Amino acid sequence: MNISNLHLLTYVPGVAEHAREVNRYIRSRFSRKNFIFAIDLPSGFEETVLSAVKKLPVVSIILDITGRGIPVIPTHAPIEAVRLYLESGMDMHFVDSSLPVRGDIGEWYRFVDIARNIGLERVLGDPKFYGISLSALFGSQYEGEGQKIPSFIHLSSMYRERVHAISPLEMTEYIDSRNRLMAKRVKKLIDSGEEIVFVCNERNALSVLRYLEEKEQVPFDDRLILPTITCRVPGRSIHKLTQEIPYVMYAYEMARNGEFDRFSILKDIFLKARTIELPADIEASIRYSMKLAMTEGQLFPDTYLLAVAARSIVDDSYAKRILDISLYYPFADAGIHECPGLEGYLDYNLQRVSHRTICLKPEDPEQRAFAKKKGMKFPFIFGYYRWVRNGAHIETEKRLLSFIRSLDPFRDGRVGHRPRKFVSGLEWGIDARNTLRGRINRDDALYVRRKRRTSVAAYIIDYGKRANTKFFIDRIIKGIGTAWVEGKTYTISTVVLFPWLECEVTDIFIGLDTNEPFPSSLSVALEYAKKLLIFSDRGENVLCSLGIPRNKYRIYPLREIPSSLLEGYQSFTIVKDNLKYNPLGD
Amino acid sequence: MENRHIFMDGNIIIRDSTPVRSGQESNIQEPSLVSSFGEEGIKGSLKATIFSDTMGNAGDTGIPETLEYKGKIIHLCTPVTLKEKVHWRGQTEVYRKLLAAWISHSPQDLPMNPLLLGPSGIGKTTLAMAVAQSFSRPVFMMNCQGDMEPNDLTVNLSIDSEKNIQYVASPLFTAVYTGGIIILDEFTRLPPHAYASIAPLLDHRRYLEASILPGLRIPAHPEFRIVFTSNYDSYSGIPDYIESRLKPRIILENPPMAELKSIIDANLPSPYYSREFKEKLVEYLEIAKKSSKYREFSPRDAILIGRLAHRLDKIGPGDDEGNFIAALNMTISYV
């Protein structure tokens, strides 16, 4: 058969490069020539599709009652072809079928009815349960696997044919019938002698071409045109329509007849999402996203890979901003309700838009500021929750502290002063700084300096036990420790109590190491206290080996603490757990 | 492997030979050297032995045994030797992430320095090994310790039985020089001053300096790749200038039960471990996962539980349930 007047343009659904190729091909070859468009959209849907295309760039989806859909988006090649038809006024034919019926049409109606009520995917997933014989309808068993994205989808069709062997879809009777039907219609158009531009999904193209050569036509009935609804898709759901990045769709729409450079658009996304990120990190994120795409057999990353790269190189907040910009499509309606049936719709090849999930935990800007103020690393890669321990332990803690203070040689150290509202007596002089600060805050009180009467030491109790967790306490006294947790019982391994601590214990307890409870306790304690008062049976050798100067600590054996206090303090139980707030209310 | 001549701050003579079969010795012609430091370091003909039976077909690539710098012999390290290929089961995404970090399509496109983060026993080192093997390069491994000095990461001194001083290259140095892949395991244990020696290796400069031999600066081989592993607990203590160079961060999490089954299947080989035994093991692990009596377990724990239960069964057969529970209690119980 002579098909020299056939121009075949294959596409991967939704990919901007393929829509672009249709646009350029028509504009470069047929600007002054007549031609006929043959598009692989279902015959009988012309009015519906044209009506939706006229509303572009507002995106919508045409869903039939079985749950199959046609996304009306700017980057979908058949939709671009319909737009060109509207602009050029050339002839256009939809050559696909809504349902190419072979055999008993009554059985098809039953299938349609069940699919409408239950959902196409569920019916296809378990046809026996619904009393449907797919082998009778489609001729072979449908295998409901997720969509496998073809590799190198961003290559245009002329290059894809060279680097990528297009494998035809698993040939079910349903697909086969559609392809035969398309071939018959295209053949009829070819016979008219006009130039035919056939826009066809690459999954069906080879099969349709093969059937063009066939002389014998299999009879089928294409009278079954299923009713459809057209839904406008809200901005938040555009990513459910297509594999394409919504921001790329927007960029394509903005420069539809101009230049389209995906790499520049992706770079734009990374740069627009930037706030405080370093240029080197931005560059690394772009590079890494490209490499991730390469490992998946693609030239360019999708939305998911952009977020993954940003998260791996920078942090979750940057990834979240990347995601927000990637999903940006300003022409979509913001306020309309969700389109029913959009979730998990199938295309006419019964393929689903595959989705991947990424869990992001963007940081709180206040937390970052806090970490910066405290000179800590951010983002934190740890978390904590609050609990309330048993009252007996708190009482024991009070008595223990009272006892340790009696042994403390570092009390009343010269650690400065603390402000106090003037009542009588100037104590250690007027605290000018706090008085002025009060005036700014409209507090007319006079502040005087009072000598701090607390210890400069940190108290360390080392029980010498194993630990599997870190904890902090901030009720009676600020303290951090390591413990062995069993159910709701904490058995303390080491604990560091700070009579005076400038920062919060939640800032510092991460510094403990459950593998080395005692050395890490010493290290954290020395960072935040000038002296150490240690109760441990390990002896001084350990401290010497750690290089702690002799004048920095006093060490006592554990037996110095009365056994009732020592044993009573060693373990506590949790009475309220998993509190997200501070039970003290501060 | 082709001879490489390094003309940085000194003379380096490379003992290397492609035609030599593994285990053999050969005379190598002295490579021609152009150096700013003259030729006092150049010796006559050299001997080299090629290591064999290493991961990633290192025997084919040929790892030199020593290299000479200004008359000083530096003994290079042996790559990791494994009898079987390391297989990575499940979690294909982390595999691809690490692979992507190491891909380089041009000399200007430098490979990244990925950091694998995750709890103990999750498979960080296994992942690194599995991906490294796919590059068909010799693989080196360093278990970092808290008392390591900068020289331990580059070239250090040791004294042999005849009380001669020897220069011994670290696995990192050897990998940099030979174009191997180095896995720095639990690198956060390193003391802060040790990090400084690897900083230039992790940015665009891509070289390693051995302070014990002044002037010895090895530019990284184009095939050189590095990966760091760390637990969450110890990750917070590394300096900013190193942390900023460790990109991307690849986080490993506990696999879902279906993937754990596949890991168990691969690590408890049939017929020694029967299918029924493995199915029962998975059942008990599912119970343990829901029970508050047991802590969260990693794939390593799961394999250990299986091995332990099997051994208990061999000692006192008959009570399957008791053996599984005993193994769970001994491995992941809070007691």
pLDDT tens column, A386-432: 788 888 898 899 889 888 888 888 876 555 677 778 877 776 778 88
Please tell me if residue A148 touches chain B, with a CB cutoff of 8 Å: no
Q: Which residue of A has its CA nearest to B251?
A: A312
A484/chain B closest Cα distance in angstroms: 8
What was the pLDDT predicted at A139?
A: 55
Q: B265-271 long-range CB contacts below 8 Å, 24 or more apart?
A: B266/B87, B266/B89, B267/B303, B267/B306, B268/B303, B268/B306, B268/B307, B268/B310
Task: State how far the Cα of B176 lies from the Cα of B162, in Å rounded to an integer.
Answer: 30
Please tell me if residue B131 touches chain A, with a CB cutoff of 8 Å: no
* Residue numbers of A between 481 and 500 with CB closer than 8 Å to B: 484-487
Put simply, the answer to whether B240 touches A284 (Cβ < 8 Å) is: no
Cβ contacts (< 8 Å) between A382 and chain B: which residues? Answer: 232, 236
Q: Which letter does DSSP use for residue B245 in this model?
A: T
Put simply, the answer to whether A513 touches B112 (Cβ < 8 Å) is: no
Tens digit of pLDDT per residue, chain B (335 long)? 333 433 333 334 443 333 333 333 333 333 333 233 333 333 333 333 344 434 434 444 478 888 888 888 899 988 988 777 788 888 888 999 999 999 888 888 899 999 999 888 888 999 999 999 888 889 999 998 888 888 899 999 988 888 888 899 999 999 999 999 999 998 888 888 888 889 999 988 999 988 888 888 889 999 999 999 988 766 666 788 888 899 899 989 888 888 888 888 888 887 788 888 888 888 888 888 887 778 788 899 999 999 988 888 888 766 777 888 888 888 887 65
Cβ contacts (< 8 Å) between A358 and chain B: which residues? Answer: none
Q: Where are the beta strands (DSSP E) in A336-465?
A: 386-389, 417-421, 447-451, 457-462
SS (H, E, C) A61-85: EEEECCCEEEEECCCCHHHHHHHHH
Q: Which residue of B has its CA nearest to A316?
A: B249
Interface with A, mutate which of B233, B235, B251, B294 (most A CBs under 10 A)? B233
Task: State how far the Cα of A302 lies from the Cα of A242, in Å rounded to an integer.
Answer: 11
Instruction: Band the pLDDT of A583: cuts 50, 70, 90.
Output: very low
- Percent of all residues in chain A with a pLDDT value above 70, rounded to a whole number: 83
Put simply, the answer to whether A382 touches B236 (Cβ < 8 Å) is: yes
Task: State how far the Cα of A34 lies from the Cα of A37, in Å rounded to an integer.
Answer: 10
Put simply, the answer to whether A312 touches B234 (Cβ < 8 Å) is: no
pLDDT above 90 for A450: no
> For chain A, how long is the longest CA-to-CA vector?
113
Cβ contacts (< 8 Å) between A487 and chain B: which residues? Answer: 292-293, 334
Can you tell me the mean pLDDT for A353-368?
74
The pair of three-digit structure tokens given for residue A461, joined into one six-digit string: 């109790």
**How far, in whole angstroms, is CA A380 from its chain's centroid?**
19
Put simply, the answer to whether B101 touches A288 (Cβ < 8 Å) is: yes
pLDDT digits (tens, 9 = 90+) for A268-316: 999 988 887 788 889 999 999 999 998 888 889 999 999 999 999 988 8
Q: Is-contact A151 A297, C-beta < 8 A?
A: yes
What was the pLDDT predicted at A142?
A: 47
What was the pLDDT predicted at A374?
A: 52
B25/chain A closest Cα distance in angstroms: 40
Please tell me if residue A32 touches chain B, with a CB cutoff of 8 Å: no
Can you tell me the mean pLDDT for A252-267?
89
A292/chain B closest Cα distance in angstroms: 5
Put simply, the answer to whether B247 touches A312 (Cβ < 8 Å) is: yes
Partner-chain residue, chosen from B237, B247, B335, that has the shortest CB–CB distance to A284: B247
Please tell me if residue B335 touches chain A, with a CB cutoff of 8 Å: yes
What mean pLDDT, rounded, does chain A reach?
81
* Residue numbers of A between 502 and 561 with CB closer than 8 Å to B: 510-511, 513-515
What was the pLDDT predicted at B70?
A: 83
Cβ contacts (< 8 Å) between A296 and chain B: which residues? Answer: 96
Pairing, β B46-49 against β B25-28: antiparallel
Put simply, the answer to whether B112 touches A510 (Cβ < 8 Å) is: no
C-alpha triplet A473, A479, A482: angle, nearest 5°: 85
The pair of three-digit structure tokens given for residue A506, joined into one six-digit string: 């939640």
Pairing, β B115-117 against β A478-486: unpaired
Please tell me if residue A281 touches chain B, with a CB cutoff of 8 Å: yes
Q: Where are the beta strands (DSSP E) in A185-276?
A: 196-201, 228-232
SS (H, E, C) A135-177: HHHHCCCCCCCCCCCCCCCCCCHHHHHHHCCCCCCCCCHHHHH
Phi, psi of A234 (to 5 degrees): -70, 155
What was the pLDDT predicted at A138?
A: 63
Please tell me if residue B109 touches chain A, with a CB cutoff of 8 Å: yes
* Residue numbers of B between 208 and 247 with CB closer than 8 Å to A: 232-237, 240, 243-244, 247
**How far, in whole angstroms, is CA B69 from its chain's centroid?**
26
Element (H, E) at A203: helix A202-212
User: Is pLDDT larger for residue A103 or for residue A463?
Assistant: A463
Partner-chain residue, chosen from A292, A468, A486, that has the shortest CB–CB distance to B96: A292
The pair of three-digit structure tokens given for residue A48, joined into one six-digit string: 């519906």
Please tell me if residue B103 touches chain A, with a CB cutoff of 8 Å: yes
Side by side, the strands of the sheet bearing A69-72 are A69-72, A60-64, A228-232
pLDDT above 60 for A266: yes
Q: Which letter does DSSP use for residue B77 in this model?
A: P
- Give the number of beta-carbon pairs within 8 Å between A and B: 59
pLDDT digits (tens, 9 = 90+) for B262-317: 888 888 887 788 888 888 888 888 888 887 778 788 899 999 999 988 888 888 76
Task: State how far the Cα of B249 lies from the Cα of B259, in Å rounded to an integer.
Answer: 22
A289/chain B closest Cα distance in angstroms: 9
Question: How many beta carbons lie within 10 A of that of residue B38, not counting itself?
Answer: 11
A420/chain B closest Cα distance in angstroms: 38
